[in-house]
Amino acid sequence: MGKQKAVVAPSPFTMDPMNNQVIVSTDGSALANPNGAMGWGWAEHVPAGRKPIASTGQDCDCGGASNGTNQIGELSAVLQALRTHRGSYPLLIETDSQYAINCSTKWIHGWKKNGWKNSKKEPVKNSDLIKAIDGEIRSRAGKVSFTWVKGHAGDFYNEKVDDLARGFAEKCRAGEISGYMPYEGWLSLINSDYGREMTMPSDPTQAPRKDDPIFDARQTGFLAADPIAASPVTPDLAPAAPQDAARASEQPVGRQQAAIPQAAPPVGRPKSFGFQDQPLYPDSPQTVTTELVAKLNEATAQFNLAAQRLEAASQHMDQAVAKLDEAIRRFDDSSWDNNHQETLF
């Protein structure tokens, strides 16, 4: 027998017609935007027969807070999608938010040149989230691209992430669930006009439980409507993320429930406050804790300055009232004198 030629195994992504890329839809939602309960969500487009590429082992995730804005929700969704899809494969993020796309790909270049000041020379809003997104994109081995989809126009995955984000926001508003955000999302909320009314959980890193109804496909209609969830699963064809390779190899092949993920905290985030500090974003010399302390100190200083100005304004008002009282008294005295001298006007 002659030598056998080496046969190169086909890429596990050849089943994906979109240039081997992984597609993730993202969305943010705020009830009574701004300053209403907010939520974020992402969902991976998982073809039949393939497990999710996400390092969490789940095909979707969602979170939110008791107060916030739609923009913070949109950016948080993009950031969490990036953090759970680190790798060398191309990643396409679908969103109905032009704001999130422009922040991530267009406006950021000018903000960097201007020291993170906008055209009005004011600090860029939500810069903590935008910087983190930029860090994830720059440090990622695979290309990241964005595409805009029209919201509420019947796109299956856009509707799915909208339901996830809105569902979490509604639970936050009802007090049924604690907030679940990336740290940069909490920082953006603290620095916003609505941070003082925000209800922060005792452990902001705690993800929803895997049995939480918010992930129940039967309550959102995805189990019946999703052709992916209804398809039998063939052996895993997707390469597991490095940190999940051992765990993935132990999982038996079975029926996949695409819309019922195993919830987990965001990548790189501790499960409790007894944690080792994390970089603020890839290649950053700052840590999450130092940045959070700095932001809190800055907010405290601004509050104290505002209190001083309010006290000074109160003193000025008291002086103005005293002068007005004196003017009224003199006018009354003058009127009395004129009445008695019959010379009034």
Q: Are residues 53 and 159 in the same domain?
A: yes
Structure tokens at 39: 């939520």
Given a contact cutoff of 8 angstroms between Cβ atoms, the answer to whether 291 and 280 are in contact is: yes
Q: Could you say which DSSP state residue 279 is in?
A: B
What is the percentage of the chain residues whose pLDDT exceeds 90?
Answer: 41
- Whether 248 is in a domain gets the answer no
What is the average pLDDT score of the chain?
A: 74
Q: For 340, what's the count of Cα atoms within 13 Å in the CB-facing half-sphere?
A: 5
In this structure, the strands spanning 91-95 and 144-148 are parallel
Give the range with max mean pLDDT: 178-192, 193-207, 264-278, 292-306: 178-192
Residue 124: what pLDDT?
95
The Cα 286–Cα 180 span in angstroms is: 22
* pLDDT exceeds 60 at position 334: yes
- Which domain range does residue 38 map to? 22-191
The Cα 158–Cα 77 span in angstroms is: 12
Q: Coil, helix or strand for 313?
A: helix
Q: Are residues 305 and 175 in the same domain?
A: no
The Cα 248–Cα 252 span in angstroms is: 9
Q: Are residues 181 and 309 in the same domain?
A: no
Q: Are residues 45 and 162 in the same domain?
A: yes
- Whether 177 is in a domain gets the answer yes
In the chain, the number of structural domains is 2
Of 7 and 185, the one with more pLDDT: 185
- Whether 14 is in a domain gets the answer no
Residue 155: what pLDDT?
92
The catalytically annotated residue of 44, 59, 74, 128 is 74
Of 8 and 155, the one with more pLDDT: 155
Q: Amino acid identity, residue 25?
A: S
The catalytically annotated residue of 115, 122, 152, 250 is 152
Q: Are residues 180 and 303 in the same domain?
A: no
Q: Are residues 158 and 294 in the same domain?
A: no
- Whether 228 is in a domain gets the answer no
Domain end marker among 191, 226, 250: 191
Q: Are residues 36 and 156 in the same domain?
A: yes
Query: The pTM is what?
Result: 0.59
Q: Are residues 40 and 181 in the same domain?
A: yes
pLDDT in tens, 302-321: 778 778 888 888 888 888 88
Check if 185 is active-site.
no
Q: Are residues 35 and 179 in the same domain?
A: yes
Q: Amino acid identity, residue 106?
A: K
* Residue 279: partners with Cβ closer than 8 Å, 6 or more residues away: 286, 287, 288
Q: Are residues 184 and 294 in the same domain?
A: no
**pLDDT (average), residues 111-133:** 94
Q: Amino acid identity, residue 122?
A: E
Residue 314: what pLDDT?
83
**pLDDT (average), residues 78-83:** 97
* Residue 105: partners with Cβ closer than 8 Å, 6 or more residues away: 146
* pLDDT exceeds 80 at position 8: no
Q: Are residues 147 and 296 in the same domain?
A: no
Given a contact cutoff of 8 angstroms between Cβ atoms, the answer to whether 288 and 80 are in contact is: no
- Whether 230 is in a domain gets the answer no
pLDDT in tens, 149-175: 999 899 999 999 999 999 999 999 998
The Cα 200–Cα 67 span in angstroms is: 9
The Cα 53–Cα 45 span in angstroms is: 10
Residue 201: what pLDDT?
59
Residue 50: what pLDDT?
85
pLDDT in tens, 193-238: 766 666 555 665 555 544 555 555 433 333 323 333 333 333 333 3
- Whether 232 is in a domain gets the answer no
CATH number of the domain that residue 92 is part of? 3.30.420.10
In this structure, the dihedral spanned by the alpha carbons of residues 263, 268, 274 and 279, taken in order and rounded to 10 degrees, is -150
Of 49 and 21, the one with more pLDDT: 21
Where do the H-state alpha helices sit in the chain? 70-83, 98-105, 107-113, 127-139, 156-173, 183-191, 217-220, 222-225, 245-250, 288-341
* pLDDT exceeds 60 at position 56: yes
Check if 28 is active-site.
yes
Check if 316 is active-site.
no
- Whether 236 is in a domain gets the answer no
Check if 96 is active-site.
yes
Give the range with max mean pLDDT: 120-124, 225-229, 261-265: 120-124
The catalytically annotated residue of 16, 44, 94, 96 is 96
Q: Are residues 26 and 161 in the same domain?
A: yes
Q: Coil, helix or strand for 47?
A: coil
- Whether 239 is in a domain gets the answer no
Residue 212: what pLDDT?
53
Using CA atoms, how far residue 101 sits from 79, 98, 104, 127, in Å, is 12, 5, 5, 14
Domain end marker among 137, 162, 191: 191
Residue 191: what pLDDT?
83
Domain end marker among 171, 191, 211: 191
Check if 318 is active-site.
no
* pLDDT exceeds 70 at position 285: no
